[in-house]
């Protein structure tokens, strides 16, 4: 009888301990996720006050054919784009994402956490870090760095790494972890050894 009561108490204690651990992990994970807020980085801005926001500026600047604008000239309605991630041609801007090559969440996790809201908005609208790409592939990329995701288009892997390099040099407070840095530098070295020189405006094979 006493043994039964004692085992019941032990079992209850173990159950409560397990519950406490699970609840702690849950609240830790949700609070960590809550730290990053996409809204802190703002919407697309009209930085030059011409009525066209950054997304449409990028779509217009990176188009490969004549651009058709809305009646008020503020949005891109159609054109042709060569998707560097996928090597596909697009004519509908709704099928395109304007990708932050260095993702906002990645930046947050690698040094931008303490930036002011204005600094975050500036980064989110910086054309140096923006590229019109295949919407579907951009969603698969998410907030991954180059050690976790690279474009399927082999011909764009080196240009992709070079854009990362340009952005990280412009924003030196963004720091890769040691394993990420090893992968990244090895990739850049391989590109340089192959004398892979790509201009931003080139068509990738």
Q: Where are the domains of the chain?
A: 1-35, 43-193
R_g of the chain, CA atoms, integer Å: 23
How confident is the model at residue 156, as a pLDDT? Answer: 97
HSE-up of residue 153 (Cα within 13 Å, Cβ side): 20
Q: Compute the CA torsion angle 155, 178, 37, 29 (nearest 10 deg).
A: 120
Question: How many Å apart are CA 91 and CA 86, to the nearest integer?
Answer: 14
- Longest CA span, the chain: 87
Average pLDDT, the chain: 86
The whole-model pTM stands at: 0.79
Residue 177 pLDDT more than 90? Answer: yes
When mean pLDDT is compared across 28-32, 67-71, 106-110, the lowest value belongs to 28-32
Q: Which residue has the higher pLDDT, 31 or 118?
A: 118
Chain centroid to CA 133 = 12
Q: pLDDT tens digits, residue range 14-44?
A: 465 555 555 555 444 444 445 999 999 999 9
Token pair 């995701």 in the structure block, residue: 149
């Amino acid at each position: 009888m006493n043994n039964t009561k004692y085992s019941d108490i032990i079992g209850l204690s173990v159950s409560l301990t397990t519950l406490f651990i699970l609840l702690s992990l849950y609240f830790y994970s949700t609070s960590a996720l809550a730290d990053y807020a996409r809204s802190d980085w703002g919407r697309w801005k009209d930085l030059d006050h011409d009525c066209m926001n950054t997304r449409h500026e990028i779509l217009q600047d990176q188009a490969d054919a004549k651009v058709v604008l809305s009646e008020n000239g503020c949005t891109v309605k159609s054109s042709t784009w060569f998707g560097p991630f996928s090597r596909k041609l697009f004519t509908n801007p709704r099928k395109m994402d304007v990708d932050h090559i260095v993702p906002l969440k990645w930046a947050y996790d690698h040094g931008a956490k303490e930036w002011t809201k204005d600094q975050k908005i500036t980064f989110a609208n910086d054309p140096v870090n923006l590229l019109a790409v295949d919407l579907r592939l951009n969603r698969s990329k998410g907030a991954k760095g180059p050690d976790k995701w690279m474009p399927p288009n082999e011909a764009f892997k080196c240009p992709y790494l070079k854009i990362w390099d340009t952005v990280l040099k412009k924003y030196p407070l963004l720091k890769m972890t040691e394993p990420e840095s090893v992968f990244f530098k090895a990739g850049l070295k391989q590109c340089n050894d192959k004398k892979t020189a790509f201009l931003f405006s080139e068509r990738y094979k």
